[in-house]
Amino acid sequence: MATIQSSPAPALRLNNVALAVADLDSMIDWYRNVFGLQVETRGHFNPVNADFAMLTGNGFRLELVSRQGGEHRPADRSAPPLHLHALGWKAIVLESDDLAATTATLTALGVEIVWAEQALTPTLASTMVRDPEGNLVNIFGELAQTCCS
């Protein structure tokens, strides 16, 4: 096997995360209403006969792709930690400066909460939610500090 002298990785950067969805319009609305993402562009990918929408906001891009016809296989809805037994990408992971406020907003919007402000490490917590088609969105933030007298 040949040794690679230099890596192409320095020339690469993340463009977007792509998510296959069954109902493009309703998923655009959900990501717009819940996370404030805006539609950058919409179009059609001829090679795979799929419609797409590129959503942007808060420093990231999310590509929603929908192909009509055929049978859609639903997202794995295993609850954590069993969700890690299904191989593949697990979640869109976001970060919040105020996880408690973000969690309260998501709750008020009626978003499906998998867990709320779950301590992951001594300083990190997350609120995990599902979009309407079952895909996980995990939001990290600092663990709320409690002070004792």
pLDDT at 55: 98
At 104, give phi and psi (nearest 5°): -60, -40
Who wins on pLDDT, 109 or 146?
A: 109
pLDDT per position as a tens digit, 37-60 = 999 999 999 999 999 999 999 889
> SS3 helix, strand, coil % of the chain, rounded to 5?
20, 35, 45
- State in words which class domain 9-71 has: alpha beta
Q: What are the φ and ψ backbone dihedral angles of 33, each rounded to 5 degrees?
A: -70, -35
| CATH 3.30.420.10 assigned to 74-149 | no
Please indicate whether the domains covering 9-71 and 74-149 agree at the CATH topology level: yes
Comparing 119 with 9, which gets the higher pLDDT?
Answer: 119
Helix (H) or strand (E) holding 107: helix 99-108
CA gap 26, 31 in Å, rounded = 9
Looking at per-residue pLDDT, the higher value among 115 and 149 belongs to 115
pLDDT on residue 121:
96
What's the pLDDT score for residue 11? 82
What does the chain come to in residues?
149
Candidates 4, 16, 7; CA nearest to 89 is 16
pLDDT above 70 covers a percentage of the chain that reads 92
**What is the pLDDT, as a whole number, of residue 1?**
61
Q: Is 83 helix (H, G, I), strand (E, B) or coil?
A: helix
Q: Residue ranges of the domains in the chain?
A: 9-71, 74-149
Tell me the average pLDDT across 69-82: 89
> What is residue 49's predicted lDDT score, i.e. its pLDDT?
95
What value does the mean pLDDT of the chain take? 92
